[in-house]
Structure 1
Amino acid sequence: MSTNTINTAIPDLSDPATFVPGVPHEALDAIREMPGLYWQPAAMGTLNGGFWCVTRHEEIIEIEKDPATFSVQWGPFYPALDEPSPFFEGHIMYSDPPLHSRLRRAAARSFGPRVVANFDHWVREIVVEVLDDIVARGEVDWVADVAALVPSRVVARVMGVPREDRQQIVDMANDVFSAVVKPDSGAALMEVVPNIYAFMEKLRLAKLRDPQDDMATVLAQCVERGELSQPECLHFMEILLVAGFETTHTLIGQSMRLVLENPEIAATVDKSLDTVGSKAVVEEFLRYVTPAMNMARTVTRDVEFRGVQMRKGDLVQLFFTAANRDPAVFTEPHRFDPARPSNDHMAFGNGAHHCIGNALARLEVRILFEEIHKRGITLRLNGEPKRGWSTFINQLFELPVTVAQGPISGPDNT
């Protein structure tokens, strides 16, 4: 198989500006159809001047099964670190097995599907509270007033963050995702993470003094039992905050944008909630939106992969958003269809680093659409949506809407 380099028809996938108009699905489709892998030159953020674009579903699975060759120690996203950082030692997102396996086991039992199923009643209370507020106001920014509030309040509840500190969760998560897209992401992260870790240490000590039925208490007690070190605990608390907020935040924002801008999708969602159910609708939103568009791995040794010679230090971008529209796996991949007989998407990653909080994110979005549908809330666009500036997250910054009672619909529906 051949190696593909600069193609004038392919936009610069290392440039956040490429993603501002929308996810470049046509370009990713073209890359997937090329033989071999596409090499994207990059002026910064890599060791060898660019990254390999992996767009096929089966190839991502293969890479994720070999962490010894494709490591996260240089960072799980682009731009990558120049070298593994001592600061991130023991951070689950920067760790390969077997360390990663130990870290995941220490807290995974508190985030399994059976545990999360018991969260339904209070997650629903949070959703209803938020929806009551936007109905009363009539005109809101869906991103700020719903997509940010629901996950921040849920994460605060899961972790045991006091109510008065909810806004800090939003602010800290936004600070992290602003840092990771900067040219010198390592330095930018080091400017914002000390405040997050100071907040988490304060929370950890509070939970030791006054244990509660929450995730911060579980993690604090893991330290006391010697299952986690104090730095490992703080790393875990930080990633719960950031990942627990951002994936759901993006999914809620972009899902509603699809409904509001596309009458066909609006009608499909409305019908599907009554036929195939909310779980299937959420799975299709996850596939179609893919909040984290990609993750990165660094090659640890010279290796041949699918006929392509990779060098030690090469960065590999796993484009989940492309894999989720791979025609080898999904029939009519660019069609929104909750009634798909199977939906083996990668919206939460794949392999050992499959998102530990996926069940909670699914629950939040499922309940949100159930309540909108049940309560007959109608949303309409009230201005121009504003996309984010990221090669990593399928961000939506603003979605102005009007809110009223009635069936959910797109802009041209009656």
Structure 2
Amino acid sequence: MNTRIIDEAARVLADPAAYADETRLHAALAHCRKHAPVAWVDVPGYRPFWAITKHADIMEIERQNDLFTNDPRPLLTIADADDALRRDMEAGRGLRTLIHMDDPHHRDMRKIGVDWFRPKAMRALKDRCDELAKIYVDKMAAAGPEFDFVTEVAVNYPLYVILTMLGLPESDFPRMLKLTQEMFGGNDEEFQRGGDVDDMLAVLIDFFNYFTALTNSRREHPTEDLSSAIANATINGQPLTDMDTLSYYVIVASAGHDTTSAGIAGGMLALLQNPDELARLQKDPALMGTAVEEMIRWVVPVKEFMRTAQADTEVRGVPIAKGEAVLLSYVSANRDEDAFTDPMRFDVGRDPNKHLSFGYGVHFCLGAALARMEINSFFTELVPRIKSIELAGNPEHMATTFVGGLKHLPIRCELS
């Protein structure tokens, strides 16, 4: 089991700066899909892993959730951060969200929030999404002609949706935004609190302190919001541990808006760079559903997850030893020539569109329906009101290896 297929192009997956340079990133991943779809990556600072870049292989690994587990390495971080997280988890104080868990505990924990994201709940929330979409498109009309679409609109609209679901006061929204950007932006000089592991852990401590106070409040005075559901949840009649409770808040409050804001910002850039597709969508609003799916495929807010083999196995004929990690590159899967026709083309009418931006299998994104609805509501409000729109500067992407997207998108527009 010592076979090592090594291709230098796969090293791009462990380079946060590569995700801020999409031309470089996609060229490297196209090379990997063609020449080394399962490649061994061993770069300084990280523990080695197998890079998986083909759509079919990623789906098969996600199906085998007993063979390929999330624990102990659910995402790509530097080795020091891996060690720190492991120490904290063993001490009972580490971050342990749904993405860190495997069944049966993952299944039990997932049930706590699932009712809040079912179709019935989404229908009840749609009016609020539509209302907020109009508010933010009105802000665009008033702010013009030039502004930063990311900082003024894309990060705020989904933030209001998810934090309203949690029942947090509006005065706390800026704090949640800053903490989320610090957590997911640990590799980006603009967003990181600092450059070392202690700084990353300090961000988590700030999250935990905030949600500890919220948990105590909701247990003493329950309300009709998602925060109360989390604070008072039980599994087999027993309350959640403190860390499970706090971790649940963190994943909902952070991933619940940051990924959607990336989808909205990246979707806007795709329309700006493909004006014929924007015109097509303006002419035929019935395409909005497929357009939203294409934005999500195109942007890929969650770049990767990792799994660890629990037994000797193989992927595409390449031996994977027990204990070795595989990185599932959703960015690569969503541009796979074997899964999509003309995958490097942004097509608002693409159908079918079996993208993997929400993952696959038992870990399929809990908030996928909400993200789809938010993006749909926003562009349904915006697109018919566009008189003119164009870039007013260079887009800037966040440096990351996990979650992220555009951090600045200067635009010039005129809206009705």
- Give TM-score, length-normalised by structure 2: 0.88
1:339-378 matches, within 5 Å, as 339-376=349-386, 378=388
Is 1:236 the counterpart of 2:248? The answer is yes
Conserved? CA contact 2:11–2:41, under 8 Å: no
**Structure 1 residue 191: Cα displacement:** 1.7
CA distance, structure 2, for counterparts of residue 270 and residue 79 of structure 1: 42
What is the one-letter code of the residue matched to 1:381? L
Provide the residue aligned with 2:46 in structure 1.
45
1:59-70 matches, within 5 Å, as 59-70=57-68
Is 1:144 the counterpart of 2:154? The answer is no
Provide the residue aligned with 1:97 in structure 2.
103
What is the one-letter code of the residue matched to 1:72? N
- Given the superposition, is the C-alpha separation of residues 268 and 123 from structure 1 closer, same or farther in structure 2, using an over 3 Å criterion? same
Provide the residue aligned with 1:261 in structure 2.
273
CA distance, structure 2, for counterparts of residue 132 and residue 385 of structure 1: 23
Is 1:173 the counterpart of 2:180? The answer is yes
Taking only aligned residues, the RMSD between alpha carbons, in angstroms, comes to 2.5
CA distance, structure 1, for counterparts of residue 167 and residue 359 of structure 2: 26
Provide the residue aligned with 1:125 in structure 2.
131
**Structure 1 residue 239: Cα displacement:** 0.3
CA distance, structure 2, for counterparts of residue 170 and residue 89 of structure 1: 19
Provide the residue aligned with 1:286 in structure 2.
296
**Structure 1 residue 176: Cα displacement:** 0.8
Q: Which has the higher helix share?
A: 2
What number of residue pairs does the alignment pair up? 400
1:107 to 106, 113, 135: 113
CA distance, structure 2, for counterparts of residue 95 and residue 392 of structure 1: 17
Conserved? CA contact 2:10–2:28, under 8 Å: yes
Conserved? CA contact 2:7–2:32, under 8 Å: no
**Structure 1 residue 263: Cα displacement:** 2.2
Q: Which aligned segments of 4 or more residues in structure 1 are displaced greater than 4 angstroms?
A: 180-188
Provide the residue aligned with 1:28 in structure 2.
29
**Structure 1 residue 242: Cα displacement:** 1.2
Q: Which moved more, 1:300-309 or 1:246-255?
A: 300-309
2:238 to 226, 236, 250: 226
- Give TM-score, length-normalised by structure 1: 0.89
2:77 to 70, 76, 79: 79
Is 1:15 the counterpart of 2:4? The answer is no
1:149-160 matches, within 5 Å, as 149-160=156-167
1:252 to 252, 264, 278: 264
CA distance, structure 1, for counterparts of residue 389 and residue 163 of structure 2: 27
Conserved? CA contact 1:291–1:393, under 8 Å: yes
**Structure 1 residue 384: Cα displacement:** 1.6
What is the one-letter code of the residue matched to 1:404? E
Conserved? CA contact 1:55–1:319, under 8 Å: yes
**Structure 1 residue 390: Cα displacement:** 1.4
- Given the superposition, is the C-alpha separation of residues 351 and 186 from structure 1 closer, same or farther in structure 2, using an over 3 Å criterion? farther
CA distance, structure 2, for counterparts of residue 142 and residue 396 of structure 1: 10
Unaligned runs of 5+ in 1: 407-414
Unaligned runs of 5+ in 2: none
What is the one-letter code of the residue matched to 1:198? N
CA distance, structure 2, for counterparts of residue 297 and residue 254 of structure 1: 27
- Given the superposition, is the C-alpha separation of residues 200 and 3 from structure 1 closer, same or farther in structure 2, using an over 3 Å criterion? same
**Structure 1 residue 165: Cα displacement:** 0.8
Secondary structure of the residue aligned to 1:342 is coil
CA distance, structure 1, for counterparts of residue 328 and residue 339 of structure 2: 16
Provide the residue aligned with 1:411 in structure 2.
none
CA distance, structure 2, for counterparts of residue 179 and residue 228 of structure 1: 29
